[in-house]
Structure 1
């Protein structure tokens, strides 16, 4: 069985529940964190039906069925159409080259199959985007799958590929959160003043959280901190990763993802306006607390 990796991420014990409320143990055969894919082995009775992976790609406009557990409703079906075959979220921490659908999925539908009228699975739900304000509109994104997918061949061999992590995170209240993530360099100073975060004048990646025990924590990186009057008292600004210039948090993640867990990277950091270099050893995301 194929699912989205984020569905099982961090889970200690897994089981599959069927429509007749019977549970079966689940074993993780392989996974790829960056691709948001996981291959699972479920000891199901041979009498239970299953759906094959697709042999041909879907087409734009093709009608599909998605099955998931959105909002806690068990195995609910939703219809939609393929709107784009290959697109990207623009976020380095989301899978690349995903399929876009207009299916109105919900939180909890992640990992659900995308099924064509031929009864073939052409992908698994990865993430969603919401737009339109009061006229809320959901765009669904799925990791496309085919029978001859090279990634699945790797997972069948037991490959378990982790995404690297430094242990820092950027969490701000909306609408600042979305804006800050990929903040253009030319808007850095204006954003700093408007948000009252007092970030200085040199664009870079700032962050609000450092996971305890993570590489960033062991290296002494400092998240944004403020006193009771709202004055900034701490907060490192990362301006480069191994010499590669970064101007926002998205740039920072993209640079980190060029390396593997276990590799040592050097961060160029501004602390209280003074430059310094900080070395840290990346770990697998599951070990970094984020």
Structure 2
């Protein structure tokens, strides 16, 4: 099985195994992201009882509500090749949220075109990108009066809850599919940065059909609120016969985990991410992974301050059970720099708990 970025023609296959929680790769912002003030995004409260944006709270009602806030993104790089993806409108004047792997090929002088629900198009420029969370903000030029997407609370999602995915799979704009939340906090590795490090995040897993070209589009609840950004799929394709399609294993970046990153991108800041400052590897016992084994602890890091030592095995972060390296990396990336977590650690057969105040990967930024 392969795990693919779901951007048509722009996302590559990524291995599931990661071996280090390294300092984050450099993120980038363009000058276009540093002008003017932006109104911060605010998550709406989750509705009580039956969420219903329309008369019956169906996928039909959700589609009518959300489709005007979703765009198709076409990217051409300097060699006239590229691909397509999707995005969610953030502001009336053209700010759009998408995946980094959708637009990264345009950073070397390529062209980005945005297609709107009414059939119009506009050129766009990159405001900021963040390979660590696989997010990007772009700005459509010369537009106004757009319909921003409503932001929900991904922390309020429940397994089995109905959700709707909207985007442009294989270039087919305004495609709507529905399903349920299959799992939460699923560690997923996809894409990667220029240094070869995988992007790992605590994903919302869904069986709503997600295919190449859906990347960057919204996953929404039945209240029409964005709860995730569709980013990758698991496919059974060997990769030899072209891109694989949906087999009911799609993954979205939970919106509540990344709202601070989105605001930093919109403001032209360098995005900051939480880090523990340790090198880790899967800890195997009886043929099964039982946690994330600490191989090395950086001097002066959050891990050292907490008391972690080489040879320790991290079993839990707060209430989240850690069964692998990816699980630890994804869980830590769900926090913000400066937040305190409780680590449950196995050391020489004894279970210990310790507090860690997470570092930032951006110097001088601990919040």
TM-score, length-scaled by structure 1: 0.50
Cross-structure match for 1:72:
171
Q: Deviations over 1:107-142 (max 9, x none)?
A: 111111111111111111111002599xx7230011
Cross-structure match for 2:151:
53
Query: 2:256 matched to 1:142?
Result: no
Cross-structure match for 1:4:
99
CA contact (8 A) 1:130 1:139 kept: yes
Alpha-carbon shift at residue 79 of structure 1 (Å): 0.6
CA distance, structure 2, for counterparts of residue 44 and residue 64 of structure 1: 33
- The 5 A counterparts of 1:207-226 are none
TM-score, length-scaled by structure 2: 0.40
Q: Which moved more, 1:12-21 or 1:46-55?
A: 46-55
Task: Sort the Cα spacing of 1:60 and 1:34 in 2 relative to 1 into closer, same or farther, 3 A.
Answer: same
3-state SS of 1:121 partner:
strand
- If asked which structure has higher relative contact order (CA below 8 Å, sep 6+), I would say 2
Query: 2:114 matched to 1:19?
Result: no
CA contact (8 A) 2:261 2:271 kept: no
Cross-structure match for 2:268:
158
Cross-structure match for 1:191:
none
- How many residues align? The count is 170
Task: Sort the Cα spacing of 1:70 and 1:100 in 2 relative to 1 into closer, same or farther, 3 A.
Answer: same
Q: Deviations over 1:240-263 (max 9, x none)?
A: xxxxxxxxxx99xx9xxxxxxxxx
3-state SS of 1:88 partner:
strand
CA distance, structure 2, for counterparts of residue 148 and residue 122 of structure 1: 11
CA contact (8 A) 2:205 2:251 kept: yes
Alpha-carbon shift at residue 41 of structure 1 (Å): 2.2
CA contact (8 A) 1:2 1:40 kept: yes
- The 5 A counterparts of 1:24-103 are 24-43=122-141, 45-55=143-153, 57-89=156-188, 93-103=198-208
Unaligned runs of 5+ in 1: 163-181, 185-249, 255-290
Q: Deviations over 1:209-258 (max 9, x none)?
A: xxxxxxxxxxxxxxxxxxxxxxxxxxxxxxxxxxxxxxxxx99xx9xxxx
Task: Sort the Cα spacing of 1:152 and 1:161 in 2 relative to 1 into closer, same or farther, 3 A.
Answer: closer
What is the alpha-carbon root mean square deviation over aligned residues? 3.7
CA distance, structure 1, for counterparts of residue 216 and residue 223 of structure 2: 20
CA contact (8 A) 2:131 2:199 kept: no
Alpha-carbon shift at residue 28 of structure 1 (Å): 1.8
Task: Sort the Cα spacing of 1:44 and 1:138 in 2 relative to 1 into closer, same or farther, 3 A.
Answer: farther
CA contact (8 A) 2:114 2:121 kept: yes
3-state SS of 2:111 partner:
coil
Query: 2:203 matched to 1:113?
Result: no
Alpha-carbon shift at residue 160 of structure 1 (Å): 5.2
Alpha-carbon shift at residue 39 of structure 1 (Å): 1.5
Task: Sort the Cα spacing of 1:86 and 1:80 in 2 relative to 1 into closer, same or farther, 3 A.
Answer: same
Cross-structure match for 1:283:
none
